[in-house]
Amino acid sequence: MDKTIGIFGGGQLGRMMAQAALPLNIQCTFFEANTDCPSAALGPVYSAKAENGLSEFIASADVFSLEFENTPLADVDVLTKNKTLHPPRQALAIAQHRLSEKALFDELAIPVAPYKAVTSLEQLKSAAAELGLPLVLKTSRGGYDGKGQFVLRSEDQMDQAWAELGPAGELIAESFVTFSREVSIIAVRGQNGDVKTWSLAENHHHNGILSHSIVPAPNSADLQPVAQDYITRLLNHLNYIGVLTLELFVTDKGLYANEMAPRVHNSGHWSIEGAVCSQFENHIRAVAGLPLGSTAVVRPTVMVNIIGLHPKTADVLALEGAHLHLYNKSEREGRKIGHITLMPNDSAELTALCRQLAKILPNPLALSEDMTI
């Protein structure tokens, strides 16, 4: 099939989508403020800063997708006058507004932590009285990798929390959920309504940024069908096409939804080597109207993000069962600049690999040596 897919955004997710598209004879173009972006090596980049950048981008492709949920809706509205975007605008709009997202979860009977809308300091105090402390205060729009939120633990933090987040406008206050771990479910829906899901990933964070994911998530056989049901409800309700991600908390009352991402996701990078068909290839297949591929796990996998500083390539590749993915991004504190996929044979081998990797990474993450697969 000869087709061109236009992608809003030119970061590493767009880069990996384009890499998956090439074997299918599908080309990608990109719309990005920075034309020297990670995706630049994979196809033409149209500048969001140029006067005619958007119109040239729209003319460059047959069908369109995105790599980031903060894609401006105004740009999407111009595009969809004449071209098709997958996923649908509705999914993007909901994902950009946390209160709308929570309302959708409520509508579909997907459990969430109790929450309240907050637009003033007085409403924050009222929400704290009703929901109890601690609570998590978040901006309704924006925020990424731990940004745009404040954990309010005591009443004397009220003024500080409001001073930090209040200027952002509408906020959401959520009850603090006591959870044992975070997991994510990633699924894809084709143009014929076919839905396929990957195994749950268990996600670990460091300084608010995803550090590593373990797939299949250990001890999650009973959680998989529940998570699968929740994300299928979302996909079908939204008439969604492409890959969708749902982040979930594991609590003593079951799974609670945290948020959804209408795109391929960091916790699914493992699937490039660890699944029969990766999240990136299946997203491209769905957007292009092709049959979906198997999401079965090839073997247990651990994905480790490279954050801030690059390791020595040779050191990583010397590890048995390690796959290195670099994004052509410059080093910067807190920035995701690559990832490493580990595919050990057993838990003992995983422990050894984690010990070796901790010595190799110049900015080591909180890798546990007692991880199990």
Give the residue numbers of the binding site for ATP: 98, 138, 143-149, 174-177, 182, 205, 258-259
What residues contact 84, with CB distance under 8 A and at least 6 apart?
A: 63, 64
Q: What angle do CA 121, 124, 129 make, to 5 degrees?
A: 130
| Contact between 67 and 245 (Cβ < 8 Å) | no
Backbone angles phi, psi at 302, to 5 degrees: -125, 125
Of 150, 140, 146, 92, nearest in space to 336 by CA? 146
Q: Are strands 171-175 and 115-118 parallel, antiparallel or unpaired?
A: antiparallel
Q: Which residues are annotated as a binding site?
A: 98, 138, 143-149, 174-177, 182, 205, 258-259
CA distance 225 to 289: 26
Residue owning tokens 């920075």: 34
Measured CA to CA, the distance from residue 207 to residue 139 in angstroms comes to 19
Q: Which of 68, 65, 52, 91 is nearest to 3 (CA)?
A: 65
User: What are the start-end ranges of the H helices in 223-270?
Assistant: 224-237
- Whether residue 207 contacts residue 336, with contact meaning beta carbons closer than 8 Å, is answered with no
